[in-house]
């Protein structure tokens, strides 16, 4: 803010100068006193100047909202934009129409594919959008040393971007064993954030007692991986902020609301983490978190604070999250504090959305060559999908419906000529193929609970290293689906009876489409329905969203990387044979 702008703001606030805009007869949500008051709200340029007696405010432009509620722009405190399958521009259109005006994004998905080039693309693509996008520099690229990704972000690499504009700090520290055990390369990253006065996000599922003490002692400030009331309370006790997550697959909010009280709600935030485009279109974003909380009995004003000022204070965002003098005029108008359907959305004093539709949609910028999909695959053949076995007693990755945590399964399987033989049961092969550096790595394991009875599906969206992951009931269809991804430059594919029945290209890093939101949602729905109908995948699961988390070696218990079957609880590889 320039001196001239500041002086003008003061002139309008003191009523010596006419405001640019007056929101007349508003029920203003005051997140500082947790109350509602009736007032006119005066806006100068892009900021709130002050208040006037209800119905008496003067301005060049007046919007009479007839005692509707005026609430601060919502903040998504932790989100991976890439998980929407959409570009930052399309993502902006989706969120702002729902009253979300600020996000704190962790681009570790695209950075696992393209390193700092991926971060730079996200910064460039999100420049000058209605949605204000802040970013965290990913701390764990790759997430662990037990997989191969497209890049490695060491402390020296992170240092190159840590003080960029719109960079708030260090992204979720998933390597919690590295923190707890004082691994020097991990501590170097944490110290870098401290030296530059930057916040550090956390990720600590299943971390308790002295391990949690050690984790929080490192200075990590947030966690979005809580699953229970006790998890929430334990982290707040240690001075951390807890994010109540409501994603497409991971839906922890209702459980965590049991631990939110009037005494601790100021340490609670809302986030979506990973939310697909269809969820955003049908349910919304953080407005959905707030709606769920209110419908579950939480005080609406507490819920709004958790969606606005709490996130701003956590991330040291000084000018958003409230309706008060000098704050940016980011706000929504809604008729009630129940459904949070936004009638008007303003960003920096400008009306940008009405009745859940953007007045002017942001257009997708040209895709730079630096983030186009890598498909550097070496020595992959049909033989790569073989699973040699000496014992018929095996470990299986067992899916748990409703999340991305798996359990450690055991089973007896059929062996023919020293190789695993498919049977008419609920076990299928799961395959990961490294696609970034032509290492020639691939791994095969067994997945149970997916419901897949025939054919195969494959995707290059495979958290967090985003190698190719596939699941299927015969080797030929698995091989065909993987090769289809190589042909289209990443995305999703379904094969059945030695034929590709559908595929959807993701030209940006193999993670995102450049289509508009409705087109992306339509294609994802079509592929999902074909997976259900043709492959008999369990309808309680999202086929591709569930599969893509089976390669994430920081979420318990068994996962698979391009290097083999991984036991997350022990943080080591294990044999498939028991």
CB atoms within 10 A of CB 417: 6
Report yes or no on 358 lying in a domain.
no
- What are the beta bridge partners of residue 41? 23, 51
Q: What is the pLDDT of residue 457?
A: 98
Confirm if 257 and 303 have CB atoms less than 8 A apart.
no
List pLDDT tens digits, range 45-72: 999 999 999 999 999 999 999 999 999 9
Give the pLDDT of residue 518: 97
Domain finish residue from 27, 45, 67: 67
Determine the straight-line distance between the first and last CA of the chain, rounded to whole angstroms.
Answer: 65
The Cα–Cα gap between 246 and 384 comes to 38
Is there a single domain that holds both residue 151 and residue 37?
Answer: no
The length of the chain in residues reads: 578
What number of CA atoms fall less than 13 Å from residue 271's CA on the CB side?
28
Distance, in Å, from the CA atom of 317 to the CA atom of 104, rounded to the nearest integer, reads 10
- Is residue 231 in some structural domain? yes
C-alpha–C-alpha distance, residues 83 and 103, integer Å: 14
In a domain, 462, yes or no: yes
Provide mean pLDDT across the span 85-94.
98
pLDDT value of position 105: 98
DSSP 368: P
User: Which pLDDT belongs to residue 357?
Assistant: 96
507-557 pLDDT, tens digit per residue, is 999 999 999 999 999 999 999 999 999 999 999 999 998 999 999 998 899
Q: What is the token pair recorded at 418?
A: 């020293």
Residue in this structure with the two tokens 């696609």, named with its chain if needed: 435
What's the whole-number mean pLDDT along residues 313-325? 97
Q: Which residues contact 106 (CB under 8 A, 6 or more apart)?
A: 78, 79, 80, 135, 136, 138, 171, 172, 201
Question: CA–CA separation, 11 vs 570, rounded Å?
Answer: 63
pLDDT > 90 fraction of the chain, expressed in percent and rounded: 96
Regarding whether 263 and 146 lie in a shared domain, the answer is: yes
Per residue, what are the HEC states of 176-212? HHHHHCCCHHHHHHHHHHHHCCCEEEECCCCCCHHHH
Q: Cα–Cα distance between 67 and 463 in angstroms, integer?
A: 46
90-131: per-residue pLDDT in tens?
999 999 999 999 999 999 999 999 999 999 999 999 999 999
Determine the Cα–Cα distance for residues 101 and 419; give it in Å rounded to an integer: 54
pLDDT, mean of residues 409-431: 97
Whether residue 364 is contained in a domain is answered as no
Last residue of a domain, one of 352, 386, 411: 352
Tokens, residue 246: 């409501």
State how far Cα 90 lies from the chain centre: 15
Q: Average pLDDT, stretch 421-444?
A: 97
Whether 33 and 173 share a structural domain = no
Query: Is residue 460 domain-shared with residue 551, that is, in the same domain?
Result: yes
Question: Do residue 299 and residue 150 come from a single domain?
Answer: yes
Cis peptide leading into residue 557 (ω within 30°): yes
- pLDDT reported for residue 135: 98
Q: Which of 293, 301, 343 is nearest to 322 (CA)?
A: 301
Task: List pLDDT tens digits, range 149-163.
Answer: 999 999 999 999 999
CB 465 within 8 A of CB 559: no
Q: Does 169 lie in the same domain as 90? A: yes
Cβ neighbours around 343 below 10 Å, total? 16
Cβ proximity of 423 and 442 under 8 Å: no
Q: Give the pLDDT band (50/70/90) at residue 144.
A: confident
To 5 degrees, how large is the angle CA 94–CA 139–CA 289? 35
Residues 119 and 248 in one domain: yes
Q: What is the pLDDT of residues 282-317, one digit of tens each?
A: 999 999 999 999 999 999 999 999 999 999 999 999
Q: Are residues 276 and 382 in the same domain?
A: no
Question: pLDDT averaged over the chain?
Answer: 97
* Domains in the chain, number: 3
Residues 31 and 107 in one domain: no
User: Given its phi and psi angles, is residue 2 left (phi above 0), alpha (psi -120 to 50 degrees) or beta?
Assistant: beta
Q: Does residue 359 belong to any structural domain of this protein?
A: no
Alpha carbon distances (Å) from 485 to 96, 112, 500, 521? 33, 18, 11, 19
Alpha helices in 425-516 (DSSP H): 475-488
**Burial 513-540, CB ≥16 within 10 A → b, else e:** bbbbbeebbebbeebbebbeebbebbee
Q: Is residue 312 part of a domain?
A: yes
- Does 402 have pLDDT greater than 90? no
Residue 252, preceding peptide bond in cis (omega within 30° of 0) = no
Which residue's structure tokens are 């978190």? 289
Task: Please check whether residues 103 and 32 belong to one and the same domain.
Answer: no
User: Is 12 in the same domain as 113?
Assistant: no
Cis status, amide bond into 472, omega within 30 of 0: no
pLDDT tens digit sequence for 247-257: 988 899 999 99
Is residue 256 a contact partner of residue 232, using CB atoms and an 8 Å limit? yes
More confident position, 22 or 403 = 22
Q: Produce one character per residue of 389-402: b if its CB has 16 or more CB atoms within 10 Å, e if not.
A: beeeebbbbbbeee
Is the pLDDT at 403 greater than 80? The verdict is: no
Rounded percentage of the chain residues whose pLDDT exceeds 70:
100
pLDDT given for residue 143 in this prediction: 85
- pLDDT tens readout for residues 355-364: 999 999 999 9
CATH code for the domain in which residue 164 is found: 3.20.20.140
- Looking only at the bridges linking them, the beta strands covering 468-472 and 222-223 are unpaired
CATH classification of the domain holding 29: 2.30.40.10
Domain shared by 295 and 202, yes or no: yes
pLDDT digits (tens, 9 = 90+) for 258-274: 999 999 999 999 999 99
Q: Which domain holds residue 484?
A: 372-573
Q: Is residue 303 part of a domain?
A: yes
CB 474, CB 385: distance < 8 Å? no
CB 241 within 8 A of CB 265: no
Do the domain assignments include residue 366? Answer: no
């Amino acid at each position: 803010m320039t001196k001239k702008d500041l002086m003008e703001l003061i002139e309008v606030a003191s009523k010596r100068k006419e405001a640019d805009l007056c929101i007349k007869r508003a029920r203003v949500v005051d997140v500082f006193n947790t109350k509602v008051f009736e007032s006119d709200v005066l806006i100068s340029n892009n900021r709130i100047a002050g208040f006037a007696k209800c119905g008496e405010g003067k301005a060049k432009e007046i919007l009479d909202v007839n005692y509707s509620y005026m609430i601060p722009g919502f903040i998504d405190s932790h989100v991976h934009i890439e998980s929407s399958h959409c570009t930052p521009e399309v993502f902006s259109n989706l969120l702002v129409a729902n009253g979300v005006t600020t996000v704190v994004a962790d681009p570790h998905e695209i950075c696992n594919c393209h390193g700092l080039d991926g971060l730079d693309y996200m910064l460039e693509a999100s420049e000058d959008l209605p949605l204000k996008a802040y970013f965290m520099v990913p701390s764990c690229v790759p997430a662990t040393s037990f997989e191969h990704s497209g890049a490695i972000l060491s402390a020296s690499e992170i240092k190159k971007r840590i003080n960029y504009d719109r960079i708030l700090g260090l992204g979720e520290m998933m390597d919690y064993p590295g923190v707890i055990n004082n691994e020097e390369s991990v501590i170097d990253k944490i110290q870098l954030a401290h030296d530059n006065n930057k916040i550090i996000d956390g990720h600590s599922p299943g971390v308790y007692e002295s391990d949690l003490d050690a984790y929080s002692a490192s200075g990590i400030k947030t966690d979005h991986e809580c699953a229970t009331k006790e998890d929430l309370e334990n982290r707040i006790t240690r001075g951390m902020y807890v994010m109540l997550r409501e994603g497409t697959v991971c839906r922890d909010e209702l459980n965590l609301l049991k631990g939110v009280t009037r005494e601790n709600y100021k340490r609670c935030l809302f986030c979506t983490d990973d939310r697909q485009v269809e969820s955003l279109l049908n349910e919304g974003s953080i407005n959905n978190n707030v709606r769920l909380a209110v419908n579950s009995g939480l005080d609406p004003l507490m819920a709004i604070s958790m969606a606005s000022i709490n996130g701003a204070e956590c991330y040291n965002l000084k000018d958003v999250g409230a309706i008060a003098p000098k704050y940016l005029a980011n706000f929504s108008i809604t008729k009630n504090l129940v459904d949070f359907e936004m009638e008007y959305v303003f960003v920096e004093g400008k009306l940008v959305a009405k009745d859940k539709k953007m007045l002017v949609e942001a257009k997708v910028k040209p895709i730079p060559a630096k983030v186009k999909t890598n498909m550097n695959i070496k020595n992959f053949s049909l033989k790569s999908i073989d699973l040699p076995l000496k014992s018929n007693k095996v470990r299986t990755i067992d899916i748990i419906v409703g999340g991305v945590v798996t359990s450690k399964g055991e089973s007896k399987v059929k062996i023919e000529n020293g190789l695993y033989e498919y049977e008419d049961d609920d076990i299928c092969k799961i395959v990961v193929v490294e696609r970034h550096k032509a290492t020639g790595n691939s791994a095969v394991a067994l997945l149970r609970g997916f419901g897949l009875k025939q054919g195969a599906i494959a995707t290059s969206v495979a958290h967090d290293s985003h190698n190719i992951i596939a699941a299927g009931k015969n080797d030929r269809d698995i091989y065909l689906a993987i090769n289809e991804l190589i042909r289209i430059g990443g995305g999703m594919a379904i094969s059945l009876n030695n034929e590709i029945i559908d595929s959807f290209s993701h030209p940006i890093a193999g993670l995102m489409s450049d289509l508009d939101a409705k087109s992306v949602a339509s294609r994802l729905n079509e592929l999902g329905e074909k997976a259900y109908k043709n492959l008999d995948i369990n309808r309680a699961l999202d086929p591709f969203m569930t599969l893509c988390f089976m390669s994430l070696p920081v979420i318990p218990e068994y996962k698979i990387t391009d290097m083999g079957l991984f036991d997350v609880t022990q943080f080591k590889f294990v044999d498939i044979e028991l």
